Structure 1
Amino acid sequence: MTRTWWLIAIFLLYFTGLLGREQGELQRLTIFFTNDVHGGIVPQKAEFLNPDFPPMLGGAASAAAIIKRVQAQAAREGFPILLIDGGDIFQGTLVGTLSKGKAVVEYMNQIGYDAVVPGNHDFDLGKENLIELIKASQFPWVSCNIYDAETGEHWKWVRPWVIVEKAGFRLGITGATTVGTEHMSFPEHIRGLDFRNEVLSLQQAVDELRAQGADIVVALVHTGLPYD
């Protein structure tokens, strides 16, 4: 998908007040959301600030500092944090490509991501490489619309959805990967995979998460800017 240039690699999506278990009790949930990181875990020259002497800006260290600061606050004040990513994690930079994405996964492991959805570019080195990244991840990869073309079942290396417990709430997380992956990736990189309609697949996932008692459902959708 089109690369989103991340100066500090992190977007604070929203803070929201939620009703707790006891009537009238408000709970705070903080969601951090990143997407289209594209291996941008090292600082970049911010020429827009000073074209003659551009300062270095952004990267994993800056993002980690922001996240850790809020994580520390959350630990003190007792509110939950959800940290998620919308895919395309490594393609596009030397560190991402030469490490085959492992450097980005190591960073995500250290910072404590809760879930990631595969983007179309995460298949750029083939599904076998993505499988190795998933194996190395200390967080689940979720996508409800990637199926095994032979068995008709969800592709076993990604979960269609997960439920995580945060401060007494059951938070359902699902994801969808653009069907355009079938046209944007080399056929041999996605051989044996079936990318089904995102909307229909997401509705099924949301219904299942609700049936399993999810209090809130979060969808990680990697389908392009007009749709995300």
Structure 2
Amino acid sequence: MQKRFIILALMLLQSLVWADELQRLTVFFTNDVHGGIVPQKAEFLNPEFPPVLGGAASAAGIIKNIRESVQAEGGSTLLIDGGDTFQGTLVGTLSGGEAVVDYFNMMGYDAVVPGNHDFDQGKDNLIERIKQSNFPWVATNIFNAETGKVWEWVKPWVIIEKDGLRIGITGAANVGTAAMSFPENIKGLEFRQEIPELQKAVNELRAEKVDMVVALV
């Protein structure tokens, strides 16, 4: 699933630029994890004796080290994901994504947007993963087709505070999800155009006087 990660520095820029002290925010962004939490052999580096690379432990170590460095200098961090989290590997598919969400919980993710492949095992399975999550799933453009309201299992936006910095986070699922999914997997859901719904979310976050907006698209 093609993604774009956008930080919209639209919100009260004077609070960041003209403040007595600048605030440092380091953003970690993952995307299209597709259940890839197990290290893989990197045959592209050495076909005969491929080294083992990647996986959850490797990513966790990198993020942990950077987090500690940033925090030691008085900064804060944000960890977010662009969706397509668990479909695509045995551990992701056979656990229905449970193993991946366990990892995301352990890592302390701040927010995730659903990708089209997160519906591959059905809407009910995704609901179970959302229930399992210690973080919000944001999608301002997924609607309950019956009620006409934002799907009750996601949030159109959230506000997270990091050392006094109010960060608004919103996101939009791929509008093409309806065409890329089996009808029974997304029954009762409507995927609206991203930009108009994101603009509504940004306007609402402006009204909440956040310092900045992060949009996952």
TM, length-normalised to structure 2: 0.92
Give the match for residue 23 of structure 2. 27
Give the match for residue 36 of structure 1. 32
In the alignment, does 2:76 pair up with 1:93? no
Number of residue pairs matched by the alignment: 209
The unaligned stretches of length 5 or more in structure 2 are 8-13
Give the match for residue 123 of structure 2. 127
Give the match for residue 11 of structure 2. none
State, as a whole percentage, how many aligned pairs show the same letter: 68
Give the match for residue 188 of structure 1. 184
Q: Describe how 1:49-64 pairs up with structure 2 within 5 A.
A: 49-64=45-60
CA contact (8 A) 2:82 2:113 kept: yes
CA contact (8 A) 2:15 2:211 kept: no
* In 2: Cα distance, 1:69 partner to 1:163 partner: 26
CA contact (8 A) 1:171 1:218 kept: yes
* In 2: Cα distance, 1:21 partner to 1:52 partner: 53
Say if 1:21 and 1:166 are closer, same or farther in 2 by CA, change over 3 A: farther
RCO higher in structure (CA 8 A, sep ≥6):
2
* In 1: Cα distance, 2:154 partner to 2:130 partner: 8
SS in 1 for 2:138: coil
Q: In terms of mean alpha carbon deviation, does 27-36 or 71-80 score higher?
A: 71-80
1:110 is matched with which residue: 100, 106, 128? 106
In the alignment, does 2:207 pair up with 1:211? yes
Could you report, residue by residue, the CA deviation over 1:32-63 in whole angstroms, capped at 9, with x for unpaired residues? 00000000001111111111100000011110
SS in 2 for 1:177: coil
* In 1: Cα distance, 2:151 partner to 2:184 partner: 16
Structure 2 residue identity aligned to 1:135: K
RMSD: 1.9
SS in 1 for 2:24: strand
1:66 is matched with which residue: 55, 62, 67? 62
Q: Which runs of at least 4 in structure 1 moved beyond 4 Å after TM superposition?
A: 18-22
* In 2: Cα distance, 1:56 partner to 1:191 partner: 40
TM, length-normalised to structure 1: 0.88
* In 2: Cα distance, 1:207 partner to 1:101 partner: 33
* In 2: Cα distance, 1:71 partner to 1:146 partner: 32
2:76 is matched with which residue: 68, 76, 80? 80
